[in-house]
Every structure is written in structure tokens, then in C-alpha cells.
Amino acid sequence: MNMAQALVAQTTGIFAPEMTVDFIFVVILFATVFVVLQRARAGLSIPPIRKIPGLEAIDEAIGRSTEMGKPVHYSPGMSSFGPELYAGLATLSYVAKIAAQYDTKLIVTVRRPQVHPVAAEIVKQAYLEAGRPDAYNPDDIRYVSDWQFSYTAAVLGIIQREKPAANLMIGYWMAEALVLAEAGSEAGCIQIGANTNVFQIHFFIVACDYTLIGEELFAASAYLSKDPMLTGTVVAQDIMKILFGILIIIGTVWATIAGNADALIELLSR
């Protein structure tokens, strides 16, 4: 039997035998999500999401801007359409609604031209839901540049000219993270940053008042909206993480006692 025939023989069937354990984990994941969502849909209690100070501080930041008569600056990050941008835009909807209720000017800057109409529509809809469509100003939703540091320079200028009291940077950030956070700090802004880039997150930690680290960004929409369905999805994922953590601990202890991990690797490869 040549190599090609061997590969065909190995892939014959529903799935590869060595993927059995992976298949079981996927089934458990889907079952967990289904059960938690069914409980949420039925109005039954589900575990709450832990308190996230950075999200709790959003109302405080907007309220501070209102008291000072200054605008709020918001950016959904530097990425194009993807998980981080979607999370940033979901949070933008909440921020815009609160800004509309408080009658506070909201300046939104975006890097990608294709993101601009989406951000504008989100803010417009938020003002409609808040009952203040007349307060929506399309000129405050600004596409500035697709170039990374041209965008950075433009936002620096906006912070210097508009003097916002709050600077919210919720999305994916790269080398411009410290530049923008430092500019906001010098301007006296209360700053909330969120990032999934492990090479830049520490700049937000030292320069911002509050920082959302990693997956806290993706939990933001569920946390702020209090939607049981969204919350249920986050809870189900956290349950699976706990399960995986327990399995890792068990595997580590097993490998340590046995003296090698070959048996465990063989078991999980079946």
C-alpha cells in the first residue's frame, strides 16, 4: 500500500479515530451551551458574570464628562471586521445610549473606512432608542485615516483640540496603544482601555484608569446589556474553561505520579 492509499484508509469513516476525545469535548461544549441557554430562555437562574470594574466605570466616565461639560472620545480599535471590532462596536452602542441620555457629546473615531457607516448607524440607532434623535450629529462619527500612525496623529489632535473628559479605547490595539493612552492621561481624561494584544496590554494597564484584559472585552456586550441569552453563552464558555482546567490539573498529577506522560498522551489520542 502506497502513501496515498494509506491516507485514504486513515480518513475513511465519520471522523478520524484519533479525534475521538476532541469530538467528546465538542459534544460536551454544545450540550453545556444548550442547557445554559435553555435555562436563560426559561427565565431560570444561571451563574452571573463576575464584576468587571472597567465596565462598571463606563457610566462614571460619561457622567464625569457630563458634569464637566466636555465630550467623550470613543474608538473601537485598529482592526477590521473581526471579534475585537464586533466587541468594540457592541460596547459603543451602550456608550452612545448613555451619552444620549446624559446629553453628552460623543466623538467616535474609526480607522477603517468600511467601519465608519456601521459605527455611524450604531450611534444613530442608540440615540433613537434613547428618544433623542435630534441630538445625533453625524459629524462626530469620524473616519480619519486607514494608516496606523496617521490615525494615531489625528486622534492626538482631536484629544488636544476637543479636550474630552473621558477616553474609551475598546478594541484591538498595536504600537499606538501607549501613545494614545499617554495623550489621554496628559489631557486629564478618565481612561478605560481594552485589548487582546498581549504585547501591548501592559501599556494600558499602566496608563489607563481601568483596563479590560483579554476575554473581558468579549464579555462586555453581555455584561452591559444584561441579556440572559448573551450572558448564558459567556457562562457556558466559562464552565468549559473550568472543566479544561480541572482536566489539565488531573493530567499533570497523573503524569507526575506515573513518571511520564506517554500513557496520558496515548489515551487522549485515541
Kindly report, residue by residue over 218-265, the tens digit of the pLDDT.
888 878 877 777 777 788 888 888 888 888 888 788 777 766 666 656
Predicted confidence (pLDDT) per residue in 160-215, tens digit: 999 999 999 999 999 899 999 999 999 999 999 999 888 888 899 999 999 998 88
Strands 166-170 and 141-143, bridge-based pairing: unpaired
Any domain includes 25 = yes
3 is a domain residue: no
Does residue 159 sit in the same domain as residue 242? Answer: no
| 80 and 175, same domain (yes or no) | yes
Residues 154, 236: one domain?
Answer: no
Count how many domains the chain has.
Answer: 2
Supply angle C-alpha 157, 163, 168, rounded to 5: 85
Q: What is the pLDDT of residue 155?
A: 94
Please report the pLDDT score of residue 158 as a whole number.
94
Q: Is residue 186 part of a domain?
A: yes
Q: Are residues 81 and 208 both part of a single domain? A: yes
pLDDT digits (tens, 9 = 90+) for 59-111: 999 999 999 999 999 999 898 888 889 889 989 999 999 999 998 999 999 99
Report the predicted TM-score, pTM, of the whole model to 2 decimal places.
Answer: 0.79
- C-alpha distances (whole Å) from 28 to each of 41, 243, 244, 247 are 20, 10, 11, 14
Pair (128, 248) in one structural domain: no
Same domain (yes/no): 71, 202: yes
Query: Is residue 128 over pLDDT 70?
Result: yes
Considering the domain architecture, whether residues 72 and 125 belong to the same structural domain is answered as yes
The verdict on 269 and 189 lying in the same domain is: no
| pLDDT value of position 192 | 94
Answer yes or no: is 214 within a domain.
yes
Residues 237 and 200 in one domain: no
Q: In what order do the strands lie in the sheet with 190-195?
A: 141-143, 106-110, 72-75, 166-170, 190-195, 210-213
Closest CA to 192 of 161, 224, 162: 224
Nearest to 208 by CA among 225, 223, 190, 232: 190
Q: Are residues 180 and 67 in the same domain?
A: yes
**Is residue 168 assigned to a domain?**
yes
Helix (H, G, I), strand (E, B) or coil at 207: helix
Does 12 have pLDDT greater than 70? no
Which CATH number do you get for residue 161? 3.40.50
Q: Is residue 32 in some structural domain?
A: yes
Place of cell 483596563: 211
7: confidence class by pLDDT, cuts 50, 70, 90: very low
Is 11 among the domain residues?
no
Can you tell me which residue has the cell 460619561? 62
Task: Indicate whether 40 and 77 sit together in one domain.
Answer: no
Is 223 contained in some domain? no
Say if residue 2's pLDDT is above 60.
Answer: no
| 144 and 175 inside one domain | yes
The domain in which residue 209 lies consists of 53-218
Cβ-in-10-Å burial (0-12, 13-18, 19+) of 67 comes to: exposed
